[in-house]
Structure 1
Amino acid sequence: MPRFVVLLRGVNVGKGNRVPMADFRDMLEALGHTDVQTLLNSGNAVFSSTSRSATKLSTEIAAAVQARFGVTTPVIVKSASEFRAIVDGNPIVPPETEHSRFLVAFSMDAGRLKELDALQPLLNPGERLAVTAHAAYLNCAGGLLESRVGEAMLGKAGKGITTRNWGTTLKLAALF
């Protein structure tokens, strides 16, 4: 059965958009998915499904999250092979000490990722942004809080995308 990863944008940050991970896991199982594993408290899960369409799954899960939790948020779904290609295709592999300062941007829409190229002029000295057809990669050498590109991704420029740090991305890949 195909395996997928689902990433929710902006849940469990502050007091809004609460999606308890145990309940999220139960919701995914109620939708008929199996071998569901959540990771951390930030809207990450890996599961098996009889479906083969990440787009269909994204739409289905987004509707279920809205219905069950009252949260409307972008839902990114990638197949195991797509996710592995994103990890393996990283053009800026950071040293282990910088995993928390290295972001991977995921989207269901490759056009959304391409729009992130417009953020290049905001890069601070030492930062690097690489945008590929499958993901965008941001090395925030000076830290995430100081990154103007990272901040822009959290705002309007990041509409329709979600980010995970490299450490979380590798942990998700290990669940396949």
Structure 2
Amino acid sequence: MRELVRYAVFLRGINLGKARRVAMADLRRLLTEEGYDNVASLLQSGNVVLDTDRPPAELGTSIEQAIEKRFGFAVGVILRSRDELARVVAKNPLLDVADDGSKYVVSFLARPLDMSIEDELAGAELGADRYAVDGTEMYIWCPGGLRDSPLMKTLGRMKGGPPSTVRNWNTVEKLLAMMQ
């Protein structure tokens, strides 16, 4: 038997409006029924931690299939192990400017950004917004808030990037604490 690994499971695009609603109690129950251990959730926006011995590629697909079968719609899943999430928090490349965890977010990417997207971002007018890319994470600081952020608007217009999901810094730190 393989060793259990603790994962943060980020579900993409649930509970953002009236459609695609999933109660976290129902999600925890489903994942427990699917054989995952120590399942816990944070907030209502698709943040789950669990233990499993399944490899990451199998884990993500298994969770996506179980959610679609139970709830009737497809949900993308992005995973980070406890060690990977700890590295994200330790890296914190915008620590010197990001002083509000609600305006500082991490975009968890399914794969690294294509060079064309990085080139487009480098040429964009971002005002006071800042970002740093590190592999499959993009750290984003929006001191004026996310809604009016030039960087978030630029990212929203870009096509062809990797699947991703965004969590604010406060949530990232809470998830890591849950994984300890």
Q: Normalised by the size of structure 2, how large is the TM-score?
A: 0.87
Aligned counterparts of 2:14 and 2:96: Cα–Cα separation in 1: 26
Which residues in structure 2 correspond to 1:1-176 (within 5 Å)? 1-51=4-54, 53-93=55-95, 97-111=99-113, 116-117=117-118, 118-154=120-156, 157=159, 160-176=163-179
Alpha-carbon distance, 1:96 to partner? 7.8
Q: Is the 8 A contact 1:55 1:108 kept in 2?
A: no
Q: Is the 8 A contact 1:55 1:77 kept in 2?
A: no
Q: Is the 8 A contact 2:131 2:140 kept in 1?
A: yes
Distance 1:174 1:132, change over 3 A: same
Q: Aligned residues: percent identity?
A: 34
Q: In structure 2, list runs of 5 or more residues that go unmatched.
A: none
Alpha-carbon distance, 1:111 to partner? 4.1
- Deviates most, 91-100 or 144-153: 91-100
- Partner AA of 1:173 in structure 2: L
Q: How many residues align?
A: 174
Larger Rg: 2
Alpha-carbon distance, 1:88 to partner? 1.1
Alpha-carbon distance, 1:153 to partner? 4.1
Aligned counterparts of 1:168 and 1:94: Cα–Cα separation in 2: 19
- Deviates most, 93-102 or 14-23: 93-102
Distance 1:120 1:22, change over 3 A: farther
Aligned counterparts of 2:157 and 2:29: Cα–Cα separation in 1: 30
Aligned counterparts of 1:78 and 1:88: Cα–Cα separation in 2: 14
Distance 1:159 1:72, change over 3 A: farther
RMSD of aligned residue pairs (Cα, Å) = 2.1
- Partner AA of 1:124 in structure 2: L
Aligned counterparts of 1:85 and 1:103: Cα–Cα separation in 2: 15
Distance 1:162 1:152, change over 3 A: farther
- Partner AA of 1:88 in structure 2: A
